[in-house]
Structure 1
Amino acid sequence: MNKKIVIAGLLALFAIAGAGCASKQTAAPTQETQTPAAPHSTSEQTAPDPSAQPTENNGAAQTPTSPSTEHTKTKTETEKSGDHQTQQITVYYTDTQENGLKEEKKEITYPSELEKYQKAFEALQKSGNSTLIPLWSDKISVHKIKLDNGALTFDISLPDEARLGAGGEELAIDALKKTMFQFNEIKTLDLLVDGQSLESLMGHVDLDHPMSR
Structure 2
Amino acid sequence: MNKKIVIAGLLALFVIAGAGCASKQTAAPTAPAQETQTPAAPNTTPGQTTPDSTAQSAEHNGATQAPASPSTETANTKTGTEKSGDHQTEQITVYYTDTQENGLKEEKKEITYPSELEKYQKAFEALQKSGNSALVPLWSDKISVHKIKLDNGALTIDISLPDEARLGAGGEELAIDALKKMMFQFKEIKTLDLLVDGQAPESLMGHVDLEHPMSR
Same fold (TM over 0.5): yes
Q: Distance in 1 between matches of 2:131 and 2:59?
A: 68
Paired residues in the alignment total: 207
Aligned equivalents of 1:195 and 1:8: distance in 2? 145
- 1:198, 1:138 → 2: CA distance? 21
In the TM superposition, what whole-angstrom CA distance separates every residue of 1:29-72 from its partner, at most 9, and x where no partner exists? 56446544334599352187679756644543x33697368526
The Cα of 1:126 is off from its aligned counterpart by: 1.3
What TM-score, normalized by structure 2, do the two folds share?
A: 0.68
Contact 2:43 2:49 in 1 (8 A): no
Gap change, CA 1:137 and 1:51, over 3 Å in 2:
closer
Which amino acid counterpart does residue 166 of structure 2 have in structure 1?
A
Gaps of 5+ in 1: none
- Contact residue 101 and residue 171 of structure 1 kept, 8 A: no
Contact 1:106 1:123 in 2 (8 A): no
Quick one: distance in 2 between partners of 1:153 and 1:59?
A: 61
Q: 2:139 aligns with which of 120, 136, 139?
A: 136
Distance 1:171 1:42 in 2: 97
> Which residue number corresponds to residue 130 of structure 2?
127
Aligned AA for 1:21? T
1:190 pairs with 193, 200, 209, which one?
193
Structure 2 residue identity aligned to 1:154: I
Normalising by structure 1, report the TM-score.
Answer: 0.68
The sequence identity of aligned pairs, in percent, is 52
Residue 27 of structure 2 is aligned with which of 22, 25, 29? 22
Query: 2:42, 2:48 within 8 Å by CA — same for their partners in 1?
Result: no
Spell out the pairing of 1:1-213 with structure 2 (5 A cutoff). 1=5, 2-22=7-27, 24-25=29-30, 28=33, 31-32=36-37, 35-39=40-44, 43=48, 45-46=50-51, 56-60=62-66, 62-63=67-68, 67=72, 71=76, 74-75=79-80, 78-79=83-84, 81=85, 85=87, 87-90=89-92, 91-97=94-100, 98-108=102-112, 114-156=117-159, 157=161, 159=163, 162-166=166-170, 168-183=171-186, 185-202=188-205, 205-213=208-216
**CA offset digits 1:72-117 (Å, max 9, x no partner):** 67437845x46xx56445232233343433123144567x655543
Greater Cα radius of gyration, structure 1 or 2: 2
| Contact 2:111–2:122 (CA under 8 A) maintained in structure 1 | no
Q: Work out whether residues 127 and 138 of structure 2, in 8 Å CA contact, stay in contact via their aligned partners in 1.
A: yes
Counterparts of 2:164 and 2:33 in 1: how far apart (Å)?
126
Partners of 2:62 and 2:187 lie apart in 1 by 59
Residue type at the aligned position of 1:209: H
Give the alignment's Cα RMSD to 1 decimal: 4.0
28 and 145 in structure 1: CA distance in 2 versus 1, 3 angstrom threshold: closer
Alpha-carbon displacement from aligned partner over 1:162-206 (angstroms, at most 9, x marks no partner): 21443x444322321233344455332111234443454446655
Q: Please say which of residues 128-137 and 97-106 is displaced more in the overlay.
A: 97-106
